[in-house]
Amino acid sequence: MDFSFDTRTQELVERVTAFMDEHVYPAEETFEHELAQLEDRFAWTQAPVMQRLRATAKEQGLWNFFLPGDTGGLGAGLSNLEYAPIAEITGRSGHLGPAAFNCAAPDTGNMEVLHMFGTPEQKERWLTPLLEGSIRSAFAMTEPDVASSDATNIATSIVRDGDEYVLNGRKWWITGAVNPDCEIFIVMGKTDPEASRHRQQSMILVPRDAPGVEIVRPMHVLGYDDHEHGGHAEMRFTDVRVPASNLIGEEGAGFAVAQARLGPGRIHHCMRAIGVAERSIELMCRRVDSRVAFGRTLSQQGVIREWIAEARVAVEQLRLLVLKTAWLMDTVGNRGAHTEIQAIKIATPKVVQEIVDRAIQAHGAGGLSQDFPLAASLAGIRTLRLADGPDEVHKNSLAKAEIARHTTAG
Amino acid sequence: MDFSFDTRTQELVERVTAFMDEHVYPAEETFEHELAQLEDRFAWTQAPVMQRLRATAKEQGLWNFFLPGDTGGLGAGLSNLEYAPIAEITGRSGHLGPAAFNCAAPDTGNMEVLHMFGTPEQKERWLTPLLEGSIRSAFAMTEPDVASSDATNIATSIVRDGDEYVLNGRKWWITGAVNPDCEIFIVMGKTDPEASRHRQQSMILVPRDAPGVEIVRPMHVLGYDDHEHGGHAEMRFTDVRVPASNLIGEEGAGFAVAQARLGPGRIHHCMRAIGVAERSIELMCRRVDSRVAFGRTLSQQGVIREWIAEARVAVEQLRLLVLKTAWLMDTVGNRGAHTEIQAIKIATPKVVQEIVDRAIQAHGAGGLSQDFPLAASLAGIRTLRLADGPDEVHKNSLAKAEIARHTTAG
Amino acid sequence: MDFSFDTRTQELVERVTAFMDEHVYPAEETFEHELAQLEDRFAWTQAPVMQRLRATAKEQGLWNFFLPGDTGGLGAGLSNLEYAPIAEITGRSGHLGPAAFNCAAPDTGNMEVLHMFGTPEQKERWLTPLLEGSIRSAFAMTEPDVASSDATNIATSIVRDGDEYVLNGRKWWITGAVNPDCEIFIVMGKTDPEASRHRQQSMILVPRDAPGVEIVRPMHVLGYDDHEHGGHAEMRFTDVRVPASNLIGEEGAGFAVAQARLGPGRIHHCMRAIGVAERSIELMCRRVDSRVAFGRTLSQQGVIREWIAEARVAVEQLRLLVLKTAWLMDTVGNRGAHTEIQAIKIATPKVVQEIVDRAIQAHGAGGLSQDFPLAASLAGIRTLRLADGPDEVHKNSLAKAEIARHTTAG
Amino acid sequence: MDFSFDTRTQELVERVTAFMDEHVYPAEETFEHELAQLEDRFAWTQAPVMQRLRATAKEQGLWNFFLPGDTGGLGAGLSNLEYAPIAEITGRSGHLGPAAFNCAAPDTGNMEVLHMFGTPEQKERWLTPLLEGSIRSAFAMTEPDVASSDATNIATSIVRDGDEYVLNGRKWWITGAVNPDCEIFIVMGKTDPEASRHRQQSMILVPRDAPGVEIVRPMHVLGYDDHEHGGHAEMRFTDVRVPASNLIGEEGAGFAVAQARLGPGRIHHCMRAIGVAERSIELMCRRVDSRVAFGRTLSQQGVIREWIAEARVAVEQLRLLVLKTAWLMDTVGNRGAHTEIQAIKIATPKVVQEIVDRAIQAHGAGGLSQDFPLAASLAGIRTLRLADGPDEVHKNSLAKAEIARHTTAG
């Protein structure tokens, strides 16, 4: 057992940290202003500072860290465990960090899907420009009319018609989709409602410009429209026709592909959330040391100190759990890491939400405002407790396995 | 001891409930649309549906419930205990309810201050139009540069110069101030920094049109600008001159007036928050009964039921505590109710925040969006944990008194 | 609405408080020593100081407060609301207070059952000596082999055989039963396993000396055997025969009688628990004000103050909820108070457990020891989260009703 | 970074697990019965089954795992990281496991102290028989009259008088001391109250049979006297004289020695506590799968599943944090691991207490009784929140360092 990073990771951590210090943090305010002045405030890819950041990072080879294994020169080829600490650092500046290195969701997950399951044609047409960073993508699974945590509820239909598939359905919370540069959607729907529970669904590639694809409106999260990363669209697909060759994998493979997409995504999300927690702790410490009430700095108040101590203790535990999960993914694979992948989803958002909430409280009313990144962080973290299924669904499933482990065969 | 409302209260509760059902809830969506179309989205008083609601309520005598005691016909003359259940009901529709009955903060507190401490001239000039509902007001106390929970930190200066006072200072979180119909500010500042701790501050009336009064920007709360009730302004007062007769009470009375303003305001805030909790529970119950996952409605899931039960049990306790506090205010006054006034501030926002958060979780991602009132409620309630001092300051003070009670004199 | 006690209650509160100060608190240590020296340490009724306390209380007419309504001179005839504050005060000294006034469970509930449902013969034979305090009783419902929170699980059989009933079964947690002065048991069993769900059970009176009645062993609670109130017995009933006239009510009435017994008992338990909380707060305040660490008394530490404030705020809410429940019981009856009776069971033990736990923490290791009443209080309160069904069962049931209220008929 | 145990550890884990299965768990009940029949129930070392277990373990070389580094053949010479998983396994049977392998506190810490700081004579006289397991020891630091978390409060005096030191003072919570086989005490006292804060204290060896050494009484923890590991004594030292050569290290070294003793002890305590948590989860899973209420097993209830999931997720995080701390101790030493040593003390007892409490709740009343190990576990774990300083002291200190890290020099 060894808790130190290997040399390569350590060096990469240092390079990325230096890039963040030199380029990313100083750009935060500029990015916000530039977005406000764009004709389409959701077109974040067009903000000059974002384009500069991405060009510089690419030039320095700080690019596509997320893609594991042999990538044929397309990415850094890091393992999950090697990428995890990088993800944490980029998460400290949530609007800029991940995108600067072409490591922002949902593109990362979509690229993985194409990398693992795409045909050579699909890869050339969509994966290459995504890896180059010249287009963006979205992943359309959640639906407004049903509890989407139960995949069998999905109602969007994908019907074969000759050489084409025809899509009909409504989706919402399609992150990134409001950005006009989002050119391609991976859409989950049902090809066979009569098949067995987990063979009904398929995934298919739908270009933005296909007739019948419609962005209905941007969804808000606690007042934010999240235009900084392309918003969350409600969408309608009406008799949308795409070539049959746009199917990802075979018919009925949708659920399996979705599962394969989940594991690394969870690790990324959780590590970035830990970055948010770290930055919140840092801001909290600085704030409380600079404010005086009733004759003492806030940093001398016992209750404030308790918050800081509990935050530190919680984050150390979370990080280790996520890193171990990444290590399991690398060594025994998605299936062997199943419990841990559930565990990090259950543990991380809740703990980080509490840390950010307390950092806000320690800031006074300013903490809720646009003057600090805390309020936006709180909104972002809050969504993670619902993203790819509410925590409660995962707890239920994890517990079932735990009970079985203690009560069967032994 | 008697836990039933008297007949008068009971009747009023029924009338207000009927008004809410008939007029207020149906107007919620309209109000939002009208605001979006106003030239100045912060000028909520100018939304046609709001004007209609207010006219109707006034006509029906459902007006100025908040003003206690003998009001010379200006208000309903309800006691705190009589008004409390009304406040809860109006709080269920936070953007419309309180304003419809001319019972919205911060006007209520400002009217109380003028009612209790104003000169006849001040009353005629400002209190009368406020009670009639023809103008709005704001209360300018919090400052950006200091921990405002400690009143001695206040830095705005109010300097006597002949027949005038001259103000200089910065304020923020001045609720209602961005609305151009907000015509008058009660400003807290220091007239004598050398006086004893609680005699340094004074309050003074500053008209919006006085030269040197400046709205710098609206503050955001999470992603909301709260334009529905006039936003929260950052303000600058630069060499602002007002007649000496604008002083409220005498020099050095500012802290005492602020304390007097607090008690009833807390009760109103807390009862409205309880209304928010009740509406959230109602929405949660309906939602979970209508969604199916894994073969059962969410309302049959044990964890969801636990949330609902805990919410009900918590709200029942909160309401009783706030009602008792109102009763104490009526029977033994502000000072006799001191501990309880702290207690409701400590207890209410935290509990209601948790209830709303769980209602959101039960709604899935939709709960965070603009499609339900829950997300905006969460933001509103969250501010209460910081408004007029963070909870922690009140806990510290309450505990000090509790310890003293057990350790001194026997 | 009126939150003050009436004069009669107020006077009684003062008399009982004076009695506690003069007689009960000073006797606490003596009682412990005397018990240790008795031949049978479970025979608490035989401790001289206990006998003196009871004689004095009876003489002063401070006796049988718990029995509501017209008692024909047997008790004080207090309403639930009048008795509630008395129960709190007696609960402050849990081992002595309730027993001193002949208001200790489980006798109180058993007397209520006999008072409401007993035949004249049953009353004369058992109720009269119980009210006089010359014998004790126990209530035998819980069974070791099943989840007793579900009454249909009960396995003890009560079979009619001529003029007798024959009992067979195992029970545990039969409080008070190890005391040899416990002369009578009310036993719950099944007379008709084929009847509808809530008509299978009956209750029957079983004298201690009936052949086949066996005390197997005393159960422990966190290391305590609770001999101060007669322990908690595991019992076996083997072919126990009692006259048919010992049946309480009719065959199949057992569930209904159990329900009727529950309401007042909950109020008593909860008010006594609030007394425990109050005494714990008092002890905590005194302790922290007398200990110094790192240059300040513990009472000046922010975290300790937070505990004290939260305890005070929580207890105020709890008490109001329990008092309201008592008032509902008096005005609309058991059924009308159903939700509240569940609510106080859900809320009280959990909150009081936390308060006692923090009082212990504030005491340092001493808090866990025999030197303070806190550790024993923690154990006692902990049992309440399981007594008459775990909290979770009640939450589930309360939530079901709450959901129904919002989703049906409207 | 590597999360797998090395082969040696893995093999040892398997051997110890096998020993637990074969010898320890089956002996639990026997040990309890034998203790009850001993003349002195605190003399646990004399219970035949305990002697057999220890002989067998020693024979198999499963002995003194705790002593790190080169032990000259006295122990297994494991690193902290290698011993940690063993400690967890032994902790699953808290009364027997650690003692069976001669790895029980407080002997382990005392042996470490002698190993690190003892003179050759001290080692021969005391360390050798302790390592052989022929005598027991205790560590006397905590005092009843002061808040012992602040070491400067210590009042016991150690005064040089010629070739001797004379001790006077009171101690309590001296674990293991009631066992008559506890032959030696390491006593902390003040040799120089005028020295600087952390140079006032010294440690000295005091044999049980020295005149003036007195066991006043056993302290209780909740209702337990913890006779299974020798109880917790209150002690008095009255003019106790020991040779000057009994001093450990030099005068004034007491605080430094105490600090050195802390690190490994924390890791052992925490890992054993994790063993307690694991066993509680196991018992909970089995219980809930075997009980039926309202038509379903408890294991199918959502709330129960939530408890199990949260327990699993929490334990995984805790274990990683403790293991990392052990690794830091091994690689960068006590000082480099300072924050983590505080963190595991803050995190572990609180989380494990909650897990055990829920396991009890899931068991129903039985969980609080002598029929399951849960209640005793709860009591044991509860003491850890106070042992070597209440959690709050450690939080305060950790936070101070965290704040400094973010606010100075950068």
Is any Cβ of chain A less than 8 angstroms from the Cβ of B170? no
First vs last C-alpha separation in chain A = 29
Which of D250, D280, D309 is where one domain is finished?
D250
Cross-strand pairs, D170: D236
Q: Is C346 in CB contact (< 8 Å) with chain B?
A: yes
Strand D213-219 versus strand D232-243 pairing type: antiparallel
Q: How far apart are CA A112 and CA A110, in angstroms?
A: 5
Burial level of A7, CB count in 10 A (0-12/13-18/19+)?
Answer: exposed
Residue C2 lies in a domain: no
Residues composing chain C: 410
Which of B149, B153, B291 is nearest residue A147 as measured by Cβ atoms? B291
Q: Rounded to 10 degrees, what is the CA torsion of A298, A303, A307, A312?
A: 80
Examine the domain organization and report whether A18 and A115 are in the same domain.
Answer: yes
Whether A315 and A275 have beta carbons less than 8 Å apart is answered as: no
Q: Which helix (H) or strand (E) holds D59?
A: helix D48-59
> Is residue A382 classed exposed, middle or buried when 0-12, 13-18 and 19+ CB atoms within 10 A define those classes?
buried
Whether C169 and C226 map to the same domain: the answer is yes
Q: How far is CA C396 from CA A144, B301, B311, C143, D291, in A?
A: 28, 9, 12, 22, 17
Longest CA pairwise span in chain D (Å): 78
- The answer to whether residue A74 sits within a structural domain is yes
Residues 13..42 of A with a Cβ closer than 8 Å to B: which? none
In order of C48, C131, C214, C231, D173, the CA distances from C44 in angstroms are 9, 18, 20, 10, 30
Percent of chain D having pLDDT more than 70? 98
Q: Using CB atoms within 10 A of its CB, is residue D275 exposed (0-12), middle (13-18) or buried (19+)?
A: buried
Tokens found for residue A376: 């936006």
Contact criterion met (CB < 8 Å) for C301 and A306? no
Q: Where are the beta strands (DSSP E) in A115-212?
A: 136-140, 157-161, 164-175, 182-190, 201-207
pLDDT in tens, D129-160: 999 999 999 999 999 988 877 878 899 999 99
Q: What is the pLDDT of residues B154-184, one digit of tens each?
A: 999 999 999 999 999 999 999 999 999 999 9
Handedness of CA D103, D107, D110, D111 (dihedral sign): negative
C351 residue type, one letter: V
CATH of the domain at D372: 1.20.140.10
Q: What is the pLDDT of residues D301-320, one digit of tens each?
A: 999 999 999 999 999 999 99
Looking at beta carbons, which residues of chain C come within 8 Å of D378? 222
Chain position carrying tokens 């004034």: D252
* Residue that is last in its domain, among B77, B110, B132: B132
A306 contact D CB<8A: yes
Counting one residue from chain A and one from chain B, the pairs whose CB atoms sit within 8 A come to: 132
Q: D264 and D226 in one domain?
A: no
- Whether A264 and A326 have beta carbons less than 8 Å apart is answered as no
Q: In this structure, is residue A209 part of a structural domain?
A: yes
Among candidates A288, A309, A346 on the partner chain, residue whose Cβ is nearest the Cβ of D395: A309
Are A197 and A89 in a shared domain?
Answer: no
Name the β-bridge partners of C201: C190
> Which 276-305 residues of chain C touch chain B by CB within 8 A?
281-282, 285-286, 288-289, 299, 302, 304-305
Residue D334: band (very low, low, confident or very high) from pLDDT cuts 50, 70, 90: confident
Q: Is residue A69 part of a domain?
A: yes
| b/e map B269-294, b = 16+ CB within 10 Å | bbbbbbbbbbbbbbbbbebbbebebe
CA distance D160 to B367: 73
Cβ contacts of A358 on chain B, cutoff 8 Å: none
**ipTM, two decimals:** 0.96
Same domain for B263 and B401, yes or no, is yes
Q: Which residues of A touch D328 (CB under 8 A)?
A: 3
Nearest to B219 among A224, A369, A379 (CB): A369
CATH number of the domain encompassing residue B51 = 1.10.540.10
CA distance B54 to chain A (A): 27
Which chains reach chain C with 3 or more Cβ–Cβ distances below 8 angstroms? A, B, D
Pairing of strands B201-207, B247-248: antiparallel
* Residue numbers in C near B309 (CB within 8 A): 346, 394-396, 398-399, 402
Are both C233 and C304 inside the same structural domain? no
| E strand segments, D197-268 | 201-207, 213-219, 232-243, 247-248
Q: Which domain holds residue B106?
A: 7-132
- Contacts of residue B74, defined as CB under 8 A and 6 or more positions apart, other chains included, come to B64, B67, B127, B131
| Positions in chain C whose pLDDT score sits under 70 | 70-72, 409-410
Query: Which residue among D327, D394, D403 places its CB closest to the CB of A308?
Result: D403
In this complex, is the C-beta atom of A386 within 8 Å of any C-beta atom belonging to chain B? yes
Determine the pLDDT at residue B409.
52
Cross-chain residue pair B223–A219, CB shorter than 8 Å: no
Cross-chain Cβ contact C309/B347 below 8 Å: no
In a domain, B174, yes or no: yes
Q: Which residues lie closer than 8 Å to A246 by C-beta, 6 or more apart?
A: A122, A165, A204, A205, A206
Residue burial B119-129, b: 16+ Cβ < 10 Å; e: rest? eeebbebbbee
> How near does any CA of chain D get to the CA of B302, in Å?
5
Residues of A with CB below 8 A from C306's CB? 302-303
B205 in contact with D, Cβ within 8 Å: no
How close B400 comes to chain A (CA, Å)? 14
Least CB–CB distance from C142: residue in D291, D365, D392: D365
Query: Is residue B370 within 8 angstroms of chain A, CB to CB?
Result: yes
CB contact under 8 A, C387 and D365: yes
Q: Within an 8 Å CB–CB cutoff, is residue A1 touching chain D? A: yes
Residue C184 lies in a domain: yes
Residue A260 counted as domain residue: yes
Nearest CA in chain A to D307: A399
Total of domains in chain D = 3
User: How many Cβ pairs closer than 8 A exist between chain B and D?
Assistant: 14
Global pTM? 0.96
In this structure, are A243 and A373 located in the same domain? no
Are D279 and D402 part of one and the same domain?
A: yes
Round to whole Å and give the CA distance between B175 and B196.
Answer: 29
DSSP A142: -
Task: Indicate the pairing of strand A136-140 with strand A182-190.
Answer: parallel
Q: Tell whether B406 is within 8 A of chain C (Cβ).
A: yes
pLDDT lower than 50: segments of chain A: 410
Q: What is the dihedral of CA B242, B244, B248, B252, to 10 degrees?
A: 110
Mean pLDDT, rounded, of chain D: 95
From chain B, the residues in CB contact with C321 under 8 A are 313, 316-317, 320
Residue C1 located in a structural domain: no
Same domain membership, residue D175 and residue D218: yes
Per DSSP, the residues of B295-308 read: TEEGGG-HHHHHHH
Is there a contact between A303 and B392 if contact means CB atoms under 8 Å apart? yes
B368, B371, B386, B396: best mutation site toward chain A, by most A Cβ within 10 Å? B368
Out of C223, C303, C365, the one facing D223 most closely (by C-beta) is C223
Mutate one of D79, D287, D310, D316 to test the A interface: name it (highest A CB count within 10 A).
D316
B317/C318 touch (CB, cutoff 8 Å), yes or no? yes
Q: Are residues D393 and D281 in the same domain?
A: yes
Region of poorest pLDDT, from A383-387, B148-152, B248-252: B148-152
Task: Please give the Cα distance from A134 to D286 (Å, whole number).
Answer: 55
The CA distances from residue C91 to C25, C97, C262, C287, in Å, are: 11, 6, 18, 21
- pLDDT for C409 equals 52
Closest CA–CA distance from residue B178 to any residue of chain C (Å)? 36
3-class secondary structure, B201: strand
What is the three-class DSSP state of C398?
A: helix
Flag if C306 and B281 touch (Cβ within 8 Å). Answer: no
Same domain, C79 and C33: yes
Final residue before a domain boundary, out of A218, A250, A282: A250
Contact D399 A306 (CB under 8 A): yes
Looking at the structure, do residues D38 and D128 belong to the same domain, yes or no? yes
State residue A410's pLDDT score.
44
Chain D hits for B305, CB-CB cut-off 8 Å, are 302
Closest-CA residue of A relative to B150 is: A293
In terms of phi and psi (left: phi > 0; alpha: psi -120 to 50; beta: otherwise), the region of C143 is: beta
Which chain B residues are within 8 Å of D303, Cβ to Cβ? Answer: 302-303, 306
CA-CA distance, D238 to D254, in Å (whole number)?
Answer: 20
| Ordered DSSP codes for B51-89 | HHHHHHHHHTT---TT--S--TTSS----HHHHHHHHHH
**Interface touch D313/A343, C-beta < 8 Å:** yes
CB contact under 8 A, D383 and C361: no
| Confidence bin at D410 (pLDDT 50/70/90) | very low
Separation in Å, CA of C287 to nearest CA in chain A: 18
Neighbours of chain A (3+ CB pairs under 8 A): B, C, D
pLDDT classification of B260: cutoffs 50, 70, 90: confident
Shortest Cα distance from C106 to chain B (angstroms)? 26
Domain of D150, CATH number, reads: 2.40.110.10
- CB-based contact (8 Å) between B271 and chain D? no
Mutation for testing the B interface, residue in D294, D298, D303, D361 having most B CBs under 10 Å: D303
Distance CA(C290)–CA(C282), nearest Å, equals 13
**C361 in contact with A, Cβ within 8 Å:** no
